[in-house]
Amino acid sequence: MNKNNGSNHLAVLVTGGRIPFQRSMTGYRDLSAFNLSRMALEGLITKTGIKPSTIDQVIMGTVIQDVNTSNIAREAALGAGIPDTVPAYTTNMACISSNIAITSAVEQIQTGQHNVIIAGGVETMSDIPIRFKKKFRQKLLDARKYKSPTDFLKFFKGLRPSDLLPDIPSISEYSTGETMGSSCDKMAAKYGISRGEQDEYALRSHQKAAEATEKGLLEDELFPATLPPDFESILQDNTFRADSTLEKLSQLKPAFVKKYGTVTAGNSSALTDGASATLITNLQAADKHGWQPKAAFRTYTYVAQQPDEELLIGPAIAVPKVLDQMGLTLNDIDVFEFHEAFAGQILTVLKALNSKAFARERLNRPDKVGEIPMEKFNSWGGSLSLGHPFGATGARLITTAANRLHKEDGQFALIAACAAGGQGHALILERI
């Protein structure tokens, strides 16, 4: 996608936000994805004061879908009081599902199809759909044709006890059968990222999140979540470890590649529940409704490659593309917000961007992209500490980046993320 310099249909971010992220099986353990996404939409509507009737469309990203609410965007929109005349659809692009929801909204604004769109995402790992195994499912479907009680006598014919066990969704790659953590372990080894470096980075992420929370830097992006039946409120993330230390992290055993692996539970993003939402419009609509946009969407790209041991290196391929599209370098970027799936993943991406060999061999560039200054990088914490609800993280990244641009008096923000399937994404915002 090329940069958009026109003003007639310039897509802008008015604001965004999220309900506080919670480690799975904690704060939101009794709630569904519908409940979480509805609260995020209601939070955005309350924050902006938008009249639901002015919304043209709702787009939400999610990964693990509940069959009862497969179009979660539509169900959540109705639950949040958005008129039934407003269309809504759901996107799935693994960990960049809300990114594609947002850029889909951007494209519709830029082409003049719509003026006001809500885009975000949701994920719950506390309520994943667990089904029976295929052989038992087939038996259940066949049973619908039974006519008499004696027909049911043949129901268990050919079934083994193991066929009755639940079939829990796998977090491995369908194409390779390998988990993301195992792929990250291999990638970290290939690029020489040590266990110590990964633990140090993870500690940094937790410290940054704890500091940002204590200073109130995240308050502008948090919507309170109220929990039935007593309607108690959750006001902040419970995902970061303020008391984390290198000593504690170093004592954890490898989580994926046993004995010699370097990826642990401590330097990986945790299973997380949460939802996010952003308000995207054009300048004319923003002026009409009295909104002051925070940032303009300038350019973005999506990339893909073989989902092998470099499954998660996508940002290193996507970042130079958006920089070139804007005629910028890393030195022109004031705010960096990158998704942290694993410490090993993010450190590999940073190392690849600063590698001449990677530039020549993988990017067909004569020189490296450059080194990202860490004082500008994920300054308020990242997915390792704030959590990673798959479908909601992208909107968090974009919201935080825009807020940091204003807090830190910057002009350009660079957002990047990896995703399952060997995919990646990068996007540039410009402060308004």
In degrees to the nearest 10, what's the CA dihedral of 345, 346, 349, 350? -150
Q: Identity (one letter) of the amino acid at 163? A: D
Residue 238, helix vs strand vs coil: coil
Query: Which residues are marked as active site?
Result: 95, 418
Q: Determine contact, residues 319/369, Cβ cutoff 8 Å.
A: yes
Residue 153 CA to its chain's centroid (Å): 48
DSSP state of 69: G
Which of 240, 245, 372 lies closest to 315 in space, CA to CA?
Answer: 372
In sequence order, which residues have a C-beta less than 8 Å from that of residue 279 and are 6 or more positions away? 13, 14, 15, 16, 44, 48, 50, 116, 117, 118, 291
Give the end-to-end CA distance of the chain in Å, rounded to a whole number: 21
The answer to whether the Cα torsion of 313, 316, 321, 322 is positive or negative is positive
Strand partners, 388: 271
Bridge pairing between strands 272-282 and 22-23: antiparallel
Alpha carbon distance 45, 61 (integer Å): 18
Which of 315, 351, 348, 307 lies closest to 187 in space, CA to CA?
Answer: 348
Q: What does the DSSP assignment read for 372-430?
A: PPGGGBSBTB-HHHH-B-TTTHHHHHHHHHHHHHHHTT-SEEEEEEEETTTEEEEEEEE
In degrees to the nearest 10, what's the CA dihedral of 219, 221, 226, 227? -110
Which of 237, 221, 205 lies closest to 399 in space, CA to CA?
Answer: 221
Q: Determine contact, residues 299/325, Cβ cutoff 8 Å.
A: yes
Alpha carbon distance 405, 13 (integer Å): 12
Alpha carbon distance 345, 419 (integer Å): 11
Q: Determine contact, residues 381/240, Cβ cutoff 8 Å.
A: yes
